[in-house]
Structure 1
Amino acid sequence: MAESPAPQETSSDKYVVVARRYRPKNFGELVGQGHVGQALKNAIETNRVGHAYLFTGARGVGKTSTARIFAKALNAPEGPTATPDNDSDICQSIDAGEDVDVLEIDGASNRGIDEIRSLRAGVGVRPSRARYKIYIIDEVHMLTQAAFNALLKTLEEPPPHVKFIFCTTDPEKIPITVLSRCQRFDFAPVHTDQIMARLREIVDAENAHAEDEALRLIARRAAGSMRDSQSLLEQVLSFSSEGLTVEAVHNMLGTADDERLSELTSALIARDSAAALQQADAAILAGVDAGQLGEQLLGHFRDLMVATVGCSPTMLRFCSESMHEELRERGQKWGVSTVLAVVSLLDQALVRIRQSVHGRVLLETTLIQICQLPDLQRIADAMAALEAAGGDPEKKNVKANLVGPDAAAGRTTGPPTAAPASVPQADRTPASGAAAPGSVPPAANPAAGANPESGRSSASGAVAVPTAAVSPAPGNASPAAGHASPAAGNASPAAGNTAPAGHPAAAATIRPGTPVQWTEQGVGRLWREALAQMDELTAGLAQQVSRVECLEAGKIRLLFPKDLTLTKSRCEKPEQKNKIDEAVCGTAARRVLIELGFDPKAVSKPLAPPPSTTSERRQRQRELQNHPWVQKCMEIFDAEVVRVDEPRS
């Protein structure tokens, strides 16, 4: 650890802030950057000092301070040495930023090509009294592209008496041609314990009193920046003359204390919207900014997530290590999936709050959304239990019917439904009056039996075919699915739909009808009835099938004319294929495997010749306006038909 800091001498009429008075003066005083200090000391001691260095890292981690220390080590009268004498005239002038041979340039305000040309003109001039002329350019990424280009040659082959030290918080904006000419050192964020220890040294040197928890709170708020922590410390010292307490820190910084955050989190976990809004209102009335409260909640749930997945207390960044066990218990009640969703909601809310003047409303809306979240972990556990039951496709069908396409895509529309861990084998055995092998057992379909809107329970015998199970890949079907017994094909559900309107399985509900005869004529009748169940756009594509071929019981092939490649490819897309599968399976009252292919003997009907007269063209336009596809486009885009252009040959 660094030796006790020694503040710089200050005159009675000029106050120097804490961050400047306690700036490190040698490599030993650098906090959290031991790897950089050791590398630079070794370079000096082995005489392997380069001509250009790049220091990268977040704000306030010691980049410019390290550059000054390195400059002192190179230009010290007794040097180059890794331990320069800070009492020498050169070292003191470098610390004060007044040395004529160590030029500190602000890249944000000297970013043009004219400033770089002036720099190049001064490079050839030898140093006045020191060993090297050192250029420290802060925020170098702010230089323009032309300025970087003008600097390249000088940066690659500078005179032997010139050294460059670049500091930046955004190295990605620096051209690769500049990066390749520099030795790069990445400065890591300073650990909270190291910041706290440094703050304790400063407090003792200032003859002030501070609680350890207050210093830890300041260190956590600094988020790895030593300079930010020192600025916050000075701000709180000015606010509380009697000493630093946790309450004083919260009052000064406008943040909520851990107890208030814990109560707010408890209300969110209990899904008590009223209590959550009351806690947020009390925090805002106490002076906590809505955006700041949202950031604290985000950090709190980050630590909650870390504790839930089993990390050690040392991984906590926003909560004290003593809260680790409490956070872990809360996270286990809520589940990792729900915690991840909460973190995502808070992150999106913070982005909106920064761009809005109604931060409180946005925060309260987010809190209510969190309270309304379903138990995502329960859904994930149910899916995991179904997958652990084995690779049987029937169990996967149960999963698809249980969760639905929205929940499978991460969009949950209602409270989760409990699901059995497995489906008994006996429930899938075909029998008279039982469901077909491709259908879901009624007991395993909560959407059909437990939904209060349906008005019936699963005991009615109604069976729903899930969307995900309608069209398995050819060749992967179970033998039983292809040779279903007549009893299975004649399963007759109770009158009415099994699932309520809007349910994912409602569109695929089996309807009673005449048993399908698995012949060319029978599947032709089945296909014509299925076309009537499709929407206009899907039917417009599907009706271009030239022939329906029966491969075996429960398996058909749709053949398109050989020149309708585009139409076939559109029907193979999932959104259209699923609609075709649902219509055919619903009409057949069982699962039907559907393949698509080409009929080599069939060609599409030739287009009608273009109309020659004005009346014919108008008649053609009226006919096209009545086409369902055109009407749908006119409805969607609020358009009208202006003219009809016939396709070119």
Structure 2
Amino acid sequence: MSTQQPAYTVLARRYRPQSFGDVVGQQHVAQALKNAILADRVAHAYLFTGARGVGKTSMARILAKALNCPNAEKGEPCNQCEMCHAIATGGDVDVMEIDGASNRGIDDIRALRANVGIRSMRTRIKMYIIDEVHMLTKEAFNALLKTLEEPPPNVKFVFCTTEPQKVPDTILSRCQRFDFSSIETHAIAQRLAEIADREGVSVTAEAIDLVARRAGGSMRDSQSLFDQLLAFGGVEISAADVNQLLGTAGDERLLSIIDAIRRGDRAAILGEVDDAIHAGVQLGNLLDQLVNVYRDLMIVKCGAESVELLGVGPSQKPRLLEVAESLGLQTITTAMQILSETKSRLSRVPHVRALLDLALVRLSMLEDVESLSQLVTELRSRPAGTVLNVGAARPAAADPPQKKNPEVSPPADSYGAPPVIEVGDEPSVADEPAPVAQSEAEQITFTEANRERIWRELLSRVDPTVANFMRQATRTAVVSSTILEVVFAPRGQFARDMAQKPDQMRKLETCLQQITGDAIHVRLVIDESLAGPSTSREKPGAAAAIVKHEFVKQAETIFNATVGHTDRIRKS
């Protein structure tokens, strides 16, 4: 007669907490429930909220055992009696666990209401544990309200959910709420080490730390991964086994990629990624790990000593400090943003490898963002009218040879002298052109004779956008020793208005001062006499009537515009 082998029980069930002290990382909840039991102040309904796998349902079972165990001491169940065993295995008829996802309708809640009033068969307290309670329908919640508010004295409810925001306020107000926190990595690692000892398996500390970090604060997830690892690795398990099983990169490979990005060695970056793929690393996992490594760099750069590392192990902290000091906080945060945006796009594109390569090459091309931020801060802190010399970083160059034609000025981006930026009320690093210092011998006297030459020089130096507007002018005139008048035809009204904006006028007058050496004001005017003959077939006075129409005046007010000319629309 053959004997049947007992079914294997997974680690998460075999090492499920059986007392309040066994629930890792939730001491605040355990202490509150024990005190309530000892003081006989147990509420009729509790709401346990938190991420998956942090002990919500296990805590509800322990509470049921503590309330019904005949041998309980100091609020803790004995875990030896028949009552404790029945509740722990889910076989007790008076402690009912209900899956809210599959029993979510109003008929299910009506059946529950019908059974609530039935006296318990074995236990002192009858308990209903509803898991994922947020999955109940609106009608089911409404049917539960009255029973929840005034249950029989021997009935208790425990609701467990990962999404408390989906539970109606009418339910929340009738429950005592306990928020379960994510479990710290070192606490998960300690528990996994205990399980490894009980299982008689040799697991390195680095491997346990990798599994604990991968679990993301969930004890159940860590035990499921560890169970898979024990089946995969045999009796001796290393960090390489964990990386191979999970499809992740090791700490050394991650730091090698970060170091290549810091050096700007793009060939090394792409080579490391290629080697990682051939070693079985999943691209999504690699991107997640790189985000966590940059997060660790930000943590160490900010000096947060007590915050746990997520990307690499604690032994790599000195190396992280070295990299963080060389990169700077601004560069680190910018890199995190680029990688996060890439991660959000991975699920929407088929070319995942190309997207990852692009993101890493972009990281290697990041300039010193820290220095740029300091420069902008210094520009904003300086008073108006001062100058800031930013030419120290420019390479020195020999003086350009003298031109044979003395009327042609040197190019605007000549390296003959360091550029200066005039700091105004609203400095702009990207839009404001850097003025070029000009000696007195190169300056052009502001006279009518030199007007055309000054005008050509002005158009060549000013911002291209402003120059395009100014080229639509019909003529220029030297009105006085300090005023240059630029005349537009009525059809150039838009160009005149755009060029007359304060920031554009400031650019024009700044360039004129560089060219002439004097403070010259620019005046932009419209010459109505330059209006061309009307091409419409309107009767005399029709255009004037249109301009005076009420709707036209409203349009002029709304758009801050004037009517240039009118045309009759002809039917085809």
Cross-structure match for 2:414: 456
Q: CA deviation at 1:19?
A: 0.6
Does residue 138 in structure 1 map to residue 96 in structure 2?
no
Q: CA deviation at 1:382?
A: 2.2
Which of the residues 265, 273, 280 maps onto 1:272? 265
1:336-415 mapped onto 2 (5 Å cutoff): 336-387=329-380, 391-395=382-386
Cross-structure match for 1:55: 48
Q: Is the 8 A contact 2:462 2:511 kept in 1?
A: no
Q: CA deviation at 1:501?
A: 6.6
Cross-structure match for 2:75: 82
Tell me the secondary structure at the aligned position of residue 237 of structure 2: coil
Deviations 1:497-534 (A, max 9, x none): 786976999999xxxx877759xxx87x74x54x6899
Q: CA deviation at 1:117?
A: 2.1
Amino acid in structure 1 at the alignment position of 2:185: T
Cross-structure match for 1:563: none
Tell me the secondary structure at the aligned position of residue 137 of structure 1: strand
Q: Matches of 1:194 and 1:329 in 2, distance apart?
A: 28
Cross-structure match for 1:252: 245
Q: CA deviation at 1:578?
A: 3.9
Q: Matches of 2:128 and 2:569 in 1, distance apart?
A: 70
Which of the residues 39, 46, 65 maps onto 2:39? 46
Q: Matches of 2:418 and 2:325 in 1, distance apart?
A: 39
Q: CA deviation at 1:371?
A: 1.3
Q: CA deviation at 1:57?
A: 1.0
Amino acid in structure 2 at the alignment position of 1:285: H
Does residue 236 in structure 1 map to residue 229 in structure 2?
yes
Query: Which runs of 5 or more residues in structure 1 are unaligned?
Result: 1-10, 403-416, 421-451, 471-486, 544-575, 595-610, 621-628, 630-640, 645-649
Does residue 171 in structure 1 map to residue 157 in structure 2?
no
- What is the aligned length? 493
Deviations 1:52-100 (A, max 9, x none): 1111111111111111101111122346961112122221111111221
Q: Is the 8 A contact 2:97 2:131 kept in 1?
A: yes
CA spacing shift, 1:242–1:498, aligned 2, 3 Å: farther
CA spacing shift, 1:380–1:13, aligned 2, 3 Å: same
Q: Is the 8 A contact 2:109 2:140 kept in 1?
A: yes
Tell me the secondary structure at the aligned position of residue 114 of structure 2: helix
Q: Matches of 2:419 and 2:455 in 1, distance apart?
A: 6
Q: Is the 8 A contact 1:41 1:82 kept in 2?
A: yes
Q: Matches of 2:363 and 2:204 in 1, distance apart?
A: 35
Tell me the secondary structure at the aligned position of residue 300 of structure 1: helix
Deviations 1:485-505 (A, max 9, x none): xx9996989946786976999
Q: Is the 8 A contact 2:69 2:83 kept in 1?
A: yes
Deviations 1:109-166 (A, max 9, x none): 2222222222222222222211222111111122222222222222222221221111
Deviations 1:537-560 (A, max 9, x none): 5646899xxxxxxxxxxxxxxxxx
Select between 130-139 and 193-202 the one with higher mean Cα deviation. Answer: 130-139
Tell me the secondary structure at the aligned position of residue 46 of structure 2: strand
Tell me the secondary structure at the aligned position of residue 224 of structure 1: coil
Cross-structure match for 2:150: 157
Query: Which runs of 5 or more residues in structure 2 are unaligned?
Result: 395-409, 429-442, 448-453, 471-475, 523-536, 547-554, 556-566
TM-score (norm 1): 0.67
Q: CA deviation at 1:285?
A: 0.8
1:122-133 mapped onto 2 (5 Å cutoff): 122-133=115-126
Q: Is the 8 A contact 2:469 2:499 kept in 1?
A: no
Q: Is the 8 A contact 1:210 1:245 kept in 2?
A: yes
Q: Is the 8 A contact 2:260 2:266 kept in 1?
A: yes
Q: Matches of 1:363 and 1:206 in 2, distance apart?
A: 40
Cross-structure match for 2:289: 296
Cross-structure match for 2:12: 19
Amino acid in structure 2 at the alignment position of 1:362: L
Deviations 1:615-641 (A, max 9, x none): x89xx9xxxxxxxx9xxxxxxxxxxx9
Q: Matches of 2:420 and 2:200 in 1, distance apart?
A: 81
Aligned residues: CA RMSD: 4.3
Q: Is the 8 A contact 1:106 1:137 kept in 2?
A: yes
Cross-structure match for 2:277: 284
Q: Is the 8 A contact 2:47 2:178 kept in 1?
A: yes
Cross-structure match for 1:327: 320
Q: Is the 8 A contact 1:462 1:493 kept in 2?
A: no
CA spacing shift, 1:498–1:305, aligned 2, 3 Å: farther
Q: Matches of 2:266 and 2:192 in 1, distance apart?
A: 40
CA spacing shift, 1:67–1:465, aligned 2, 3 Å: closer
Deviations 1:566-605 (A, max 9, x none): xxxxxxxxxx6545655676678888999xxxxxxxxxxx
Q: Is the 8 A contact 1:63 1:187 kept in 2?
A: yes
Which of the residues 200, 203, 216 maps onto 2:196? 203
Tell me the secondary structure at the aligned position of residue 426 of structure 2: helix
CA spacing shift, 1:155–1:80, aligned 2, 3 Å: farther
Q: Is the 8 A contact 2:388 2:421 kept in 1?
A: no
Q: Matches of 2:461 and 2:142 in 1, distance apart?
A: 68
CA spacing shift, 1:95–1:323, aligned 2, 3 Å: same
1:297-312 mapped onto 2 (5 Å cutoff): 297-312=290-305
Tell me the secondary structure at the aligned position of residue 31 of structure 1: coil
Q: Matches of 2:74 and 2:13 in 1, distance apart?
A: 24
Q: Is the 8 A contact 1:117 1:150 kept in 2?
A: yes
Q: Matches of 1:239 and 1:457 in 2, distance apart?
A: 66
CA spacing shift, 1:79–1:326, aligned 2, 3 Å: closer
TM-score (norm 2): 0.75
Tell me the secondary structure at the aligned position of residue 219 of structure 1: helix
Amino acid in structure 1 at the alignment position of 2:130: I
Does residue 186 in structure 1 map to residue 144 in structure 2?
no
Does residue 36 in structure 1 map to residue 29 in structure 2?
yes
Amino acid in structure 1 at the alignment position of 2:127: I
Cross-structure match for 2:207: 214
Q: Matches of 2:312 and 2:16 in 1, distance apart?
A: 28
Between the two proteins, what is the percent identity of the paired residues? 42
Amino acid in structure 2 at the alignment position of 1:190: I
Amino acid in structure 2 at the alignment position of 1:46: A
Does residue 68 in structure 1 map to residue 26 in structure 2?
no
Which of the residues 296, 303, 316 maps onto 2:309? 316
Q: Is the 8 A contact 1:464 1:505 kept in 2?
A: no
CA spacing shift, 1:468–1:540, aligned 2, 3 Å: same
Tell me the secondary structure at the aligned position of residue 468 of structure 1: coil
Q: Matches of 1:457 and 1:90 in 2, distance apart?
A: 89
Q: CA deviation at 1:276?
A: 0.7
CA spacing shift, 1:537–1:14, aligned 2, 3 Å: farther
Which of the residues 99, 111, 129 maps onto 2:104? 111
Deviations 1:8-37 (A, max 9, x none): xxx833111001000000001111111111
Q: Is the 8 A contact 1:463 1:493 kept in 2?
A: no
Q: Matches of 2:73 and 2:109 in 1, distance apart?
A: 28
Q: Matches of 2:468 and 2:519 in 1, distance apart?
A: 15
Tell me the secondary structure at the aligned position of residue 127 of structure 2: strand
